[in-house]
Amino acid sequence: MFIHITNAQVFAPESLGVQHLLVAAGKIVSMSPDAIDLGSIENVVTVDAEGRRLIPGLVDGHSHINGGGGESGYSSRVPTVKLSQYTGAGVTTVVGLLGTDDTVHTTGSLVTGARGLIDEGLSAYCYTGGYHVPCTTLTGSVRGDIVYIDPIIGVGELAISDHRSSQPTLDELLRVAADSHVAGMMTGKAGVVHLHLGDGERRLSMVHDAIAQSEIPARVFNPTHVNRNEPLFLEAMELTKAGCTIDITAYPLVEGDTGIGADRALIRYLESGCSPDHITVSSDGGGCLPQFDDDGHVTRMGVGDPRVLLDVINALARVGVPLEDVVPAFTSNVARHLRLRYKGVVAKGCDADLVVLNEDGSLWGTMAMGQWHVQDSQLLRLGHFENL
Ligand SMILES: [Zn+2]
């Protein structure tokens, strides 16, 4: 079946004006500012976008697809994130990972979770490892996991500068990064180490040392949560000049929070003169969002939600930041850094992962691999067990 989308104002992410698209077999097979000649094609469903904005499906590079948490006792483990929590938030590609709990959760369960989402129509990848070293793996090595297991594209989220980390040494970090880098070369996968940054005052010093004292390319080191405090954010922006891509977490700020809101952080980054290609934003969906007192006790607990991504995009649109400047951090930058071919852009030959926005920024439609999951602001598909 062909899906013919007419009169969409396309941000690919660059602004292309009004375009008409033809989708088939999960791909964008044609895109043109002129009406597409459908000729003798049968089984065409035409959808008039009526001038709505159309952007690439969001690529969420940091999500606890199987549920994270467990930092406040056994009962605080977060449930699995369901299909519609992604598609209903405009997310069409997700990278799953393990965090604090890489004991009960395993690389095997994570790969299975990613495959489940793929079965349901999403594009899903994952990292091997978790907060701690030695990394939890499926084959016994980071290199083996990336080389042999399809959805695994790198390592993460490996924790540094955090009381929940395993306090890795520089040598331990370098060994993991070297394995991921070489496996990335062998496979064409990302081969990155996605680094969870905590509130610790060492901040990014170990990453600076790793780049200075080894031959591993800076792109391999990919710090996240860099907007959690001002000094860390300043260091992270500086680090992009060495070639690293940094990731902002779109967590909602609460009173007394020392973090920088993702909208504010992205504006500051884009105005800083740093490369606009080296910044991404992720949701930490399904992750627990604890706050700690000085003794390391949890004082407050929230759960990450993929919906924050669209909230940030709309917050930036409301203050007049052009959509084509905002969207890359949520789409093409993530796909490029993680070497996800055919993802993160609206172009002929790319996967038909699309988001259509209403005038007020709310979601009109989500198409994942050529299938509508949300259309006319209605959820059309649910994952297994979602309707119970
Ligand atoms: Zn984290």
Choose, from 60, 101, 179, 284, the residue flagged as catalytic: 284
Span from the CA of 162 to the centroid of ligand 1 (angstroms): 10
% of the chain at pLDDT higher than 70:
100
Other C-beta atoms lying within 10 Å of the C-beta of residue 379: 15
| pLDDT in the model for residue 288 | 82
Q: What is the pLDDT of residue 255?
A: 75
Q: Per residue in 265-302, pLDDT tens?
A: 999 999 999 999 999 999 999 988 777 777 878 787 78
Give the residue-averaged pLDDT of 82-97.
98
Tell me how far the alpha carbon of residue 276 lies from the centroid of ligand 1, in angstroms.
23
Binned at pLDDT 50, 70 and 90, residue 72 comes out as confident
How is residue 171 written in tokens? 């040598």
pLDDT (tens digit, 9 = 90+) per residue, 179-191? 999 999 999 999 9
Give distance in angstroms: CA of 6 to centre of ligand 1: 40
C-alpha 287 – ligand 1 centre gap (Å): 8
Instruction: State mean pLDDT over 108-118.
Output: 98
Q: At what angle do helices 308-318 and 262-271 cross, to 10 degrees?
A: 50
| 284 in catalytic set | yes
DSSP state of 336: H
Q: What share of the chain is helix, strand, coil (3-state, %, to 5)?
A: 30, 30, 45
pLDDT tens readout for residues 122-179: 999 999 999 999 999 999 999 999 999 999 999 999 999 999 999 999 999 999 999 9
CA of 376 to the centre of ligand 1 (A): 34
What integer pLDDT is reported at residue 289 of this predicted model? 79
How many angstroms does the Cα of residue 97 sit away from the middle of ligand 1?
A: 9
Which domains are seen in the chain, by residue range? 2-55+345-379 (2.30.40.10), 57-337 (3.20.20.140)
For residues 193 and 223, what is the distance between their CA atoms, to the nearest angstrom?
8
- Ligand 1 centroid–CA 119 distance in Å is 26
User: d(Cα 80, Cα 114) in Å, to the nearest integer?
Assistant: 11
Distance between CA atoms of residues 196 and 212, nearest Å: 20
Cβ atoms of 124 and 118 closer than 8 Å: yes
Task: Supply the DSSP string of 166-190, one letter for each residue.
Answer: ----HHHHHHHHHHHHHHHHHHSS-
Ligand 1: centre distance to CA 249 (Å): 9
- List of long-range contacts for 266-274, beta carbons under 8 Å, 24+ apart: 266/312, 266/316, 266/326, 266/329, 267/316, 267/319, 267/321, 268/233, 268/237, 269/237, 270/321, 270/325, 272/237, 274/237, 274/240, 274/241
Which range, of 214-218, 258-262, 364-368, averages the lowest pLDDT? 258-262
User: Residue 204: is its pLDDT beyond 90?
Assistant: yes
- Per-residue pLDDT band at 388 (split at 50, 70, 90): low
Taking only the tens place, the pLDDT of each residue in 166-177 is 999 999 999 999
Q: Is the pLDDT of residue 47 over 90?
A: yes
The better pLDDT of the pair 189, 77 is held by 189
pTM exceeding 0.85: yes
Average pLDDT, the chain: 95
Mean pLDDT of 370-379: 98
Neighbours of 149 (CB within 10 A): 18
Long-range contacts of 138-141 (CB under 8 A, 24+ apart): 138/106, 138/107, 138/108, 138/111, 141/179
C-alpha of residue 247 to centroid of ligand 1, in Å: 11
Residue 6 pLDDT > 70: yes
Please give all residues whose CB falls under 5 A of ion ligand 1, grouped by chain where several chains appear: 157, 196
Range 234-242 contact pairs with CB under 8 angstroms and sequence separation of 24 or more: 235/203, 235/204, 236/197, 236/204, 237/268, 237/269, 237/272, 237/274, 239/204, 239/207, 239/208, 240/274, 240/275, 240/278, 240/279, 241/274, 242/211, 242/218
What is the whole-number distance in angstroms between the Cα of residue 100 and the centre of ligand 1?
A: 8
Q: Which of 27-41, 116-130, 283-297, 335-349 has the lowest mean pLDDT?
A: 283-297
Give me the pLDDT at residue 297, please: 81
Residue 98 has pLDDT above 70, yes or no: yes
pLDDT of residue 102: 93
pLDDT at 60 over 80: yes
Quick one: pLDDT at residue 152?
98
At 196 the pLDDT is 98
Alpha-carbon gap, residue 230 to 222, rounded angstroms: 18
Ligand 1 midpoint to CA 99 (Å): 6
Separate counts of helices (H) and strands (E) for the chain: 10, 19
The torsion angles phi and psi of 153, rounded to 5 degrees, stand at -115, -5
